[in-house]
Amino acid sequence: MSSDRPAPTVLAHLSDLHLDGGPRATERTRAVVAHLLDLPGTFDGVLVTGDLADHGTDDEYRLAAELLKPLADRHPLLVCPGNHDAREPFRRLLLGGGEPGDAPVNQVRDLAGTRVVLCDSSIPGRAEGRLAPETLAWLDATLAAAPRLPALVALHHPPVDLGLPYIDRIGLREAEGLAAVLDRHPQVIAVLCGHAHTSAATTFAGRPLLCAPGVASTALVPWEQQPGQSWKTEDADPALTFHLLHEGRLTSHHRTVRTA
């Protein structure tokens, strides 16, 4: 890569840790963190798109903070809530406070010349997602404030069906509101999400839509499932994605992490 060209922005993208205090989820998360810490090179940030906790308890968020601290000490750590998360303890224990109450947890960070906008798609007490009117207005204003910065928009719930019947039933509702905002901001390069527990690539609003694989488990597509089998398997290793944004093009690399 020529030295006079801008450097790429590189993000490690994790999702769906589902930390519940048990050894299995803890060790899988610990393995992914260790994998990132052991890399010989560096990257610009770590993005976790929701469901850090399984039940939204204080103890689960304390555990998440403990496990992720080595990453946060070395890299910017960006986390947004999923449907298993609870906003108040999420803010208090992962974000160090912030606005009190149950308002959406929306955040923006500028990393290495890229604006990363994290939208809270959770609906307290529900599995499906929706972007509240105030979130859409905030997203619009946040993107409008930096029209020259390439941007990535991150949220938990996929805004389109993925061919996963269980996940598709609890995806993002009223996704046309998000599409309308993105249509006004051509600097948005891609949308990043979680929730699906699988690495998936499709399009939304004329842009790439990339779902991170799950740390806790992996979704099965219908033709992988035996009759009566769960929608997900805990036999597959945890996984993550690296996103490289360079000169308007996003390239994604997927990795699995051995736990034994």
Confidence of residue 86 (pLDDT cuts 50, 70, 90): very high
pTM: 0.95
pLDDT averaged over every residue in the chain: 96
- What does residue 184 show for φ and ψ, rounded to 5 degrees? -85, -5
Distance between CA 139 and CA 143 in Å, rounded? 6
- Give the β-pairing of 114-118 and 151-154: parallel
pLDDT(5) > 80: no
Per the CB < 8 A criterion, the answer to whether 83 and 50 are in contact is yes
What are 26-67's pLDDT values in tens digits?
A: 999 999 999 999 999 999 999 999 999 999 999 999 999 999
9-256: what CATH class? alpha beta
* Domain regions of the chain by residue span: 9-256
pLDDT(100) > 90: no
